[in-house]
Structure 1
Amino acid sequence: MKKIALITGATSGLGKAIALTLAKEGYYVIITGRRKGKLEELEQEIEIKYESKVLSLCFDVRDYSQVEKAFATLPEDWKKIDVLVNNAGLAVGLDPIFSGEVDDWERMIDTNIKGLLYVTRTVSPIMVERKSGHIINIGSIAGKGVYPNGAVYCATKYAVDALSQGMRMDMLPYGIRVTQICPGAVETEFSLVRFKGDKKRADQVYVGFENLVAEDIANAVLFAVSQPKHVDIQDMLVMPTAQASGSLFHKE
């Protein structure tokens, strides 16, 4: 039987690349996100390119009732999820703590922490019952070191780091692997969202060095899930060669 992978935040960027990569490797994929049109486009792309089975779930990870409702509608043969990729996340704003917008903080906390918890709480009991599964949390270099004006976003990614460690302990008796993958600078919609649609400002983030692309992180996910069952890649930091920390780059 084919393995099933569920990827949150699959409408663009890392999530889309991860879904395509796993489908190419023969996984059946459940793709989730808030933009129904984007999910439908990805569903068609996967079916045409890889002739793999795909199921779309349109919901907001920040709303636990939506998460519960979406998973309650899963057909029985889609419920045995082997791999959960908690990818949905975002940064909003780049401001010092004394002038940050509270709405930005709440969006980051609700998506990056609560969303991850809500989906994990819904999916992991299936894995516990089967004593099998792999949870992959997409963290960030921002969860390894804080940078100026990013305190709240960094705090949410530090939370992902702590949650990944705690999950690993809780899942240990059930043979469930937990991996955290922490990207550095990846050119996706990330900066465009952070700067609230200001494309000029977003594009400047990636000037002067060769950044990561979404497929680099998708390949890291594939590497983690491809290991034999007795091997758990627990924590992976993936950076551009030109980046040494969250804020230190060598730019030409």
Structure 2
Amino acid sequence: MAELSFTGVPSLPQFPDLEIKDVQKERDPHVYLSKEEVKEKIQSYNSSVTDKLKMTLNANGIYTGFIKVQMELCRPITVQSSQSQGSCAPSNQETAFYLPDGCVNTLHISSTNTVREVIEALLKKFFVADNPAKFALYKRCHKEDQVYTCKLSDREHPLYLRLVAGPKTEMLSFVLREHETGEVMWEAFSIPELQNFLRILDKEENDQLQILKNRYAAYRGKLEEALRGVLKPG
């Protein structure tokens, strides 16, 4: 696997409020470019982007460039603690938390890197201990005033898709999500992961319970105050 590097980017442009469709089986026909076509595409691509995000064509025909990936994860991820990062020995020091909405990473990859390699590199960037097989990379694009998302196969090459679509994220952007299986496959999670999920649920339950207690305590106080006003002599 070629080396992938990362650059933090605040956020992607917001898409307009258009109808969004998930297209699992829809696939655009693959168009393979010749070396000369790739060279022309890269020249056209570079004329529309900043110096830091340009693509570079090597003598061997492999080119490198940048893609942006937006993280849209609904479930918490399990992250190795700072003490266990970089250590070869297994560690139980892991923490589960929800990744903030709108988190985006810019990856420097080559035309040979596959979708599966990009997913693995993203998880490595965040020190995520979860199995990469739990995640999928999607492409999001505009077609006829609608926004479509389509899951990419593990063997597709994101940088090639970026080159063909051009640099505009409205035409094509990449999104990391959990696999859409309909139901959560709990057996795919480890015991520490499940225990962390339970702790998160317990905390959310306690927080909601405290909110309800405070709400009804305030309501009770207002009722008692009104009752005292009614029973007050005169």
Q: Same fold (TM over 0.5)?
A: no
Larger radius of gyration: 2
Give the TM-score normalised by structure 1. Answer: 0.21
Which of the pair is proportionally richer in strand? 2
Which of the pair is proportionally richer in helix? 1
Give the TM-score normalised by structure 2. Answer: 0.23
Structure having greater relative contact order (Cα 8 Å, sep ≥ 6): 2
